[in-house]
């Protein structure tokens, strides 16, 4: 059985605008034992007019998933599968952009961002299980942050000059 739900919301006025979306997808045991899958997502964009020549935009995206791992990457013919294996993953991106228009020919944009990623693998012992199979748990965490500053100048004749810095 598969289930999918979605919700979106948007609105705003001259000084503030927003657009948000939520989604959920669930699949229950349609392939093999321990093949359940859940995936939840959120995305949001929030626009602010801070001054006549200054705008700000906040973007947030997040995804979380849970997967019953019913086989290994090499396949069941190479390694025995464990019906208790699971994988959980979480990804989040947050960015903030400021757009300034100091003159009619110059735009300056500063973007700061941060990305987080977590992956967890888990194997639990069956109740009463003995022998070589043991409880196993691993977690990997990763984050990346950066910034971009870009300046665009509109020149005569329809030309444009861009310069900036990028850091990650």
Q: How far is CA 44 from CA 58, 100, 142, 165, in A?
A: 8, 22, 22, 26
pLDDT of residue 81: 55
Question: What pLDDT, on the 0 to 100 scale, is given for residue 32?
Answer: 64
Residue-level pLDDT at 108 = 98
Per-residue pLDDT of the chain (168 residues; tens, 9 = 90+): 788 999 999 999 999 999 999 999 988 866 666 678 889 999 999 999 999 999 999 999 999 998 876 655 545 444 555 667 788 899 999 999 999 999 999 999 999 999 999 998 877 666 665 555 556 678 889 999 999 999 999 999 999 999 999 999
**Cα dist. 138→70, 88, 126 in Å?**
17, 11, 18
Predicted local distance difference test score (pLDDT) of residue 1: 77
Q: Which of 157, 154, 38 is nearest to 87 (CA)?
A: 38
What is the per-residue DSSP string for the chain?
-EEEEEEEEEEE-SSEEEEEEEEEEEE-SSSSTT--EEEEEEEEEEEEEEETTEEEEEEEEEEEEEEE--S-TT-TTTS---TT-EEEEEEEEEEEEEEEEEETTEEEEEEEEEEEEEEEEEE-PPTT--SS---EEEEEEEEEEEEEEEEEEE-GGG-EEEEEEEE-
pLDDT at 159: 96
Instruction: Give the pLDDT score at 78.
Output: 46
Place of tokens 């990305």: 115
Q: How far apart are CA 115 and CA 51, in angstroms?
A: 28
Predicted pLDDT of residue 6: 95
């Amino acid at each position: 059985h598969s289930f999918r739900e979605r919700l979106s919301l948007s609105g705003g006025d001259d000084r503030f605008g927003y657009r948000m979306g939520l989604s959920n997808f669930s699949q229950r045991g349609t392939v093999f034992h321990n093949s359940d899958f859940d995936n939840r997502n959120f995305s949001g964009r929030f626009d602010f007019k801070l001054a006549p020549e200054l705008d700000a935009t906040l973007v947030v995206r997040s995804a979380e998933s849970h997967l019953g791992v019913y086989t290994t990457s090499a396949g069941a013919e190479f390694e025995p599968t464990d019906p208790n294996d699971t994988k959980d993953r979480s990804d989040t991106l947050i960015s903030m952009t400021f757009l300034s228009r100091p003159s009619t020919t110059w735009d300056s944009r500063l973007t700061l961002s941060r990305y987080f990623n977590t992956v967890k693998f888990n194997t639990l012992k069956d109740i009463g299980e003995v022998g070589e199979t043991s409880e196993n748990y691993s977690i990997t965490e990763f984050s990346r942050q950066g910034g971009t500053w870009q300046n665009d100048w509109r020149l005569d004749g329809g030309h444009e000059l861009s310069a900036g810095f990028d850091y990650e």
